[in-house]
Structure 1
Amino acid sequence: MLRTIFHPILTQRQAAMLSTQVLACDPTTISFDSSSSQPKFSSQHSLDSLNLAAQNLIDLQPVAFPTETVYGLGALALNSAASSCIFAVKGRPPDNPLIVHVSSLDMLHSLLPSSFKMPKSYELLMKRFWPGALTLLFPSDPKVIPSIITANQPTVAIRMPSHPVARALIALVNAPIAAPSANSSGKPSPTTAEHVRRDLDGKLRVILDGGACGVGLESTVVDGLQQDGKIRVLRPGGITVEDIEQTLRHGHHDAPQVLVHRRDYRDEQLEAAPTTPGMKYRHYSPTAPVTLLMTSSPPPGGVVPSPIQSFFISLKNELHSSASVKIGVLALTDSALGTLPLPVVSGVEWCRYALGPVKDPSITAQRLFDGLLTLDQRGVDMILIEEVGEANEGLAVMNRVRKAASELQWVTF
């Protein structure tokens, strides 16, 4: 039984003085019965790590923990003071809402207005993708959900993670946990405990280390609450648009249309006052500037693509450096760029990072953030990243890359 001791909430200055523990927690030692939302443990060490993390949450302190998507920075979702610590640790703007994580359907229903009737589309999607990397928008009950979670919007974003450590942590606390990615606001999302430690060391007490995240990109966020009945993908992510469409077609005699924000429609009001993270502010940017190399999309009118070798040779001058420079290259393993010999340029050191094969964008999704963070850690002065096709997980990859990039450059081979 966890004891409950309430401490004063940490200010950002106080949080910077903390000693951070990284606690190993083996996800393979945690299991759930299909008939129960309560976890079972085969490792006392993992249970001890989870109990310590849970006690920190109950004490209103934030905790970093793994999910199947990225590492999250969690706090009690129904306590405004606890949730405010997330914003302080991350340096997160207050008008950027948080996703609430639950461990069971009973916990989900405890958050919803009694008058809410679950749409059939949601029932189908939850049956297929929960637990998993799908976030759904629900009406927010202001008597239950603090306004700091929703950024004063009428909806709340909720998901049930499938990672055993995340789900067990929520179950042990027996309360929903609000959790954005566990990184400084605007930086690439962490996919390992070491990524979190390098960024937030000294700003929180506990990081649960459950290994590398399997998906590597944040959850897909879906709004199915609009009167026209259409499904709107507000943020592509770990569940592909193709899988959502297929699930709705197979379970619905008159399947609703699926629209992707910024691909199929624009909503300026939503972008100004977002209902979900990742829509308004620049995200996913490492310290080094990122240039997106457009290798297959046609250039806009008036733009003449540069021959790739000429572009590479010109980079030293663009960096305005008389000293040697490091340039990182994130490229697909078997693409024209990935197999291209990089030119020998005086004063330039190339640092490659492979994003996986062209035909498997799920690997690219898994490796993207680690690639950005790894190259940053190696001290590169610039990062070049290759365009990928926007089918399946590639849509989410390009969503993140476009937000990380400060420049687009069309090139030819």
Structure 2
Amino acid sequence: METKYLTEKDGDQAAAILRAGGLVGIPTETVYGLGANGLDAQAVAHIFEAKGRPQDNPLILHIPEASWLERYCQNIPAAAWALAEAFWPGPMTMILPRKDLVPDAVTAGLDTVGMRCPAHPVCREIIRLSDVPVAAPSGNTSGRPSPTTARHMLEDMDGRIDAIVDGGPCSVGVESTIIDLTCTPPRLLRPGGITLEQLRSVLGEVAVDPAVTRLLGAGEKPKAPGMKYRHYAPKAPVTVVAGEPARSAAYIAAHAGERDGVICFDEYMSLFTGRAAARPVMDLGPAGDKEEQARHIFDALRSFDHTDVPAIWAQCPDSKGIGLAITNRLNKAAGFHIIEV
């Protein structure tokens, strides 16, 4: 299969591919998604084939506006409309009771479905033109770091899908927040661009699912993408070092092997760059700028796949604000191999 490289002006072509049951890489503000017609079970099955994704990992349906919720969901609570008004279009997915027309292939057999209205205007226009909800996980092969540019996605999906639409680099850089509205209190299943603090400002009490801070065990069924499996991982094993930035940087400097890769904050690059020829170093961004760190994290992890580093060591921020999403992605990339200093 030849993968077509499309631009923002090719929305009609991308929509036609989706309507015909094909796969399209679509830009969002979070990461690039691998999109298919979310009402076509066969097209959705091709997503799993292209990614090598486990079949029990549910997908998210993307819609261009909140009014489309009523097409695919039932018993929609008032909390959903309040969240949509506050944060849509934007990096937030809501788990809601699904209608029967949503295929089991999308929901992994669950009676709920994740719904999102992305902020990227090109993405929303493609969905409008296709006139179908777009099922779209991140556009990487399963387990690898998510793509935040069309180039990243092409590395994984060239020859596997029909087309990729280049909408520029992603402005958020980590996947959407997932909030389950089918339980009381609502439950955060995956942290993302909309923070736990922002959710609580609208909903009041919000519980945090244990899967945010650990992997699901055998027999535990995921209600949302990314909850169960080792995720976001480069080829080399990752160790996350958590704690006050100066201490975590010093720990990595003392314990990393000479050929190990390092992901660190701006302020501590000088600890490692003197031996850059032997030890590749990736800049995560300033220690105090978590939004910048979120935009860099997947690019940093992916970059080491082009090297022969035997291991990767990573600093991480605290869990306030979007820091919870960054630490979640790093910890999952590391298989929750975390050292506290």
TM-score with structure 2 setting the length: 0.92
- 1:162 is displaced (CA, Å) by 1.0
Distance 1:267 1:383 in 2: 20
Aligned identity (percent) is 39
- 1:359 is displaced (CA, Å) by 1.5
SS at match of 2:278: strand
Distance 1:309 1:139 in 2: 49
Matches within 5 A, 1:97-112: 97-112=58-73
**2:161 match:** 204
Distance 2:170 2:215 in 1: 32
Unmatched 5+ stretches in structure 1:
1-17, 26-45, 249-254, 298-305, 317-324
CA contact (8 A) 1:307 1:411 kept: no
Does residue 273 of structure 1 match 2:234? no
**1:40 match:** none
CA 1:296–1:52 in 2, change beyond 3 Å: closer, same or farther?
Answer: same
Does residue 396 of structure 1 match 2:325? yes
**2:254 match:** 310
Residues 56-108 of structure 1 show CA distances to partners (whole Å, capped at 9, x for unaligned) of 11110111010010000000001101111100100111110000001123322
CA contact (8 A) 1:290 1:407 kept: no
SS at match of 2:13: helix
Matches within 5 A, 1:34-45: none
**1:88 match:** 49
- 1:380 is displaced (CA, Å) by 3.1
CA contact (8 A) 1:65 1:209 kept: yes
**1:380 match:** 309
TM-score with structure 1 setting the length: 0.76
Does residue 135 of structure 1 match 2:93? yes
Moved more, 351-360 or 152-161: 351-360
Does residue 60 of structure 1 match 2:18? no
Matches within 5 A, 1:265-344: 272-296=220-244, 307-312=251-256, 315-316=257-258, 325=259, 327-334=260-267, 337-341=268-272, 344=275
CA 1:124–1:271 in 2, change beyond 3 Å: closer, same or farther?
Answer: farther
Residue type at the aligned position of 1:388: P
Residue type at the aligned position of 1:328: G
Distance 2:118 2:192 in 1: 13
- 1:309 is displaced (CA, Å) by 4.2
SS at match of 2:329: helix
CA 1:238–1:75 in 2, change beyond 3 Å: closer, same or farther?
Answer: same
Q: Number of aligned pairs?
A: 339
CA contact (8 A) 1:308 1:411 kept: no
Moved more, 288-297 or 351-360: 288-297
**2:147 match:** 190
CA contact (8 A) 2:19 2:132 kept: no
Matches within 5 A, 1:110-129: 110-113=71-74, 116=75, 118-129=76-87
CA 1:365–1:351 in 2, change beyond 3 Å: closer, same or farther?
Answer: same
CA 1:233–1:311 in 2, change beyond 3 Å: closer, same or farther?
Answer: same
Q: Which has the larger radius of gyration?
A: 1
CA 1:379–1:211 in 2, change beyond 3 Å: closer, same or farther?
Answer: farther
- 1:121 is displaced (CA, Å) by 2.2
- Higher helix proportion (structure 1 or 2): 2
CA 1:371–1:341 in 2, change beyond 3 Å: closer, same or farther?
Answer: closer
Distance 1:199 1:276 in 2: 23
CA contact (8 A) 2:213 2:328 kept: no
SS at match of 2:262: strand
- 1:293 is displaced (CA, Å) by 2.0
CA contact (8 A) 1:20 1:203 kept: yes
Residues 160-184 of structure 1 show CA distances to partners (whole Å, capped at 9, x for unaligned) of 1110111001000011010000010
